[in-house]
């Protein structure tokens, strides 16, 4: 039997349609729904200690750290990529140059452009590494481009940034969960949890190297960012946490109770196994598209974009196949709960 004929995750998933839109939102595992439902019911009943558990948040932090290849001390928890990027943007000195790929995701770019006193520069993705120059302070980009699934030359960007003394910011929202992430090789990574990490929306993760931490201003410091959690409930925080938790946002407990269960599932299955599964499905879809006379963006990515076919998304939805439209592209995105049958069903719908 072809391994692509079977989903990963077993009975954790039961989509009611052919769902090929994880790049918009991942499906929640059964265990995650149960965890969120349990906490919501406990909170409605009157839960001892309030609306959630900091121990469960610590579980989620540690699980993401293992997936990202860093120590838990290097991970901050939050609510969105935009908030993490905003903190980095507000910490930069006036006049600093930030380099982006053209057409990258708005939440990565806009926190920097609204400053008004930073120099922002945009270049084609394929020229990102060669465009780093001595005056570049930060290179910020997505590991996988949301609009078309393209990936940058990670090694070349790191080498160029290092050669010119620039820091790096990697948005792993479209990659973490299926593509191995070595977060310690980047000054900052930001990851929205509600796509390939299968978390409820409202869980996100920031990683900060020890060297980069000193230049990052904790602009939303709050009672949970102290070195001792319950010592800072009233009055100013006396001592910020020594590690990345100084950059935590106040926790959305429902999201993180679910996130801890979703991340545990990903660890049980294994990111390398998920990568092989997802890429195999994407390759099958690209091959089928070419057979139909459609030319997709060619990249070794689980996100497949087909230029000029965005208008077909509605008719595919009517046929029970859920994809999305981005920048005029028809975008399909495959994950562990998909199978070869899902790919074939989408191709049949397109052919029809």
- Mean pLDDT over 65-80 rounds to 98
Instruction: Return d(Cα 165, Cα 10) in angstroms, integer.
Output: 46
Q: What is the pLDDT of residues 285-296, one digit of tens each?
A: 999 999 999 999
58 pLDDT band, cuts 50/70/90, is: very high
Q: What is the pLDDT of residues 201-237, one digit of tens each?
A: 999 999 999 999 999 999 999 999 999 888 888 999 9
pLDDT score at 229: 86
- Mean pLDDT over 141-158 rounds to 97
Q: Where are the beta strands (DSSP E) in the chain?
A: 18-19, 75-78, 97-101, 119-123, 136-142, 167-171, 188-192, 204-208, 303-307, 321-322, 324-326, 329-333
Give the residue from 272, 288, 284, 283 showing the smallest Cα distance to 336. 272
Name the DSSP class of 23: T
pLDDT score at 50: 81
pLDDT score at 48: 87
State the chain's mean pLDDT as an integer: 96
Residue 170 has pLDDT above 80, yes or no: yes
DSSP track, 177-205: TTS---GGGSSEEEEETTSTT-PPTT-EE
pLDDT score at 49: 79
Residue scoring higher pLDDT (48 or 298): 298
Residue 352 has pLDDT above 90, yes or no: no
pTM above 0.85, yes or no: yes
pLDDT score at 126: 97
Instruction: Return d(Cα 206, Cα 183) in angstroms, integer.
Output: 10
3 pLDDT band, cuts 50/70/90, is: confident
Token representation of residue 36: 């969120």
pLDDT score at 272: 98
pLDDT score at 232: 86
Distances from the Cα of 17 to the Cα of 23, 63, 321, 352, angstroms: 16, 30, 6, 18
Residue 348 has pLDDT above 90, yes or no: yes
Q: What is the pLDDT of residues 301-342, one digit of tens each?
A: 999 999 999 999 999 999 999 999 999 999 999 999 999 999
Instruction: Return d(Cα 77, Cα 192) in angstroms, integer.
Output: 10
Q: What is the pLDDT of residues 89-140, one digit of tens each?
A: 999 999 999 999 999 999 999 999 999 999 999 999 999 999 999 999 999 9
Instruction: Return d(Cα 50, Cα 8) in angstroms, integer.
Output: 35
Residue 2 has pLDDT above 90, yes or no: no
């Amino acid at each position: 039997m072809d391994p692509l004929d079977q989903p990963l995750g077993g009975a954790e998933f039961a989509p009611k349609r052919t769902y090929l839109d994880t790049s918009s939102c991942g499906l929640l595992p059964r265990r995650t729904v149960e965890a969120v439902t349990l906490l919501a019911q406990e909170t409605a009943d009157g839960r001892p200690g309030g609306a959630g558990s900091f121990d469960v948040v610590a579980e989620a932090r540690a699980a993401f750290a293992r997936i990202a290849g860093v120590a838990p001390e290097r991970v901050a928890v939050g609510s969105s990529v935009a908030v993490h990027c905003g903190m980095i943007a507000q910490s930069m000195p006036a006049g600093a140059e930030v380099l982006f790929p053209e057409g990258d995701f708005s939440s990565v770019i806009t926190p920097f452009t609204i400053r008004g006193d930073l120099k922002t520069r945009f270049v084609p993705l394929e020229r990102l590494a060669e465009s780093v120059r001595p005056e570049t302070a930060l290179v910020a980009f997505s590991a996988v481009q949301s609009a078309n699934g393209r990936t940058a030359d990670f090694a070349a960007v790191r080498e160029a940034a290092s050669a010119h003394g620039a820091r790096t910011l990697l948005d792993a929202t479209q990659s973490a969960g299926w593509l191995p992430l070595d977060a310690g090789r980047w000054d900052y990574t930001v990851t929205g949890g509600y796509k390939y990490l299968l978390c409820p929306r409202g869980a996100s993760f920031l990683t900060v190297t020890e060297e980069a931490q000193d230049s990052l201003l904790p602009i939303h410091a709050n009672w949970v960012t102290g070195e001792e959690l319950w010592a800072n409930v009233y009055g100013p925080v006396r001592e910020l946490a020594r590690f990345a938790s100084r950059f935590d946002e106040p926790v959305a407990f429902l999201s993180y109770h679910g996130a801890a269960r979703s991340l545990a599932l990903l660890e049980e299955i294994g990111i390398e196994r998920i990568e092989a599964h997802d890429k195999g499905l994407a390759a099958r879809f690209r091959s089928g598209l070419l057979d139909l006379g459609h030319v997709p963006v060619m990249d070794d990515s689980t996100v497949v974009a087909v230029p000029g076919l965005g208008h077909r998304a509605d008719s595919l939805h009517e046929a029970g196949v859920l994809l999305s439209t981005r920048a005029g592209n028809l975008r399909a995105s495959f994950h562990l709960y998909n199978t070869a049958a899902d790919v074939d069903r989408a191709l049949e719908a397109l052919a029809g």
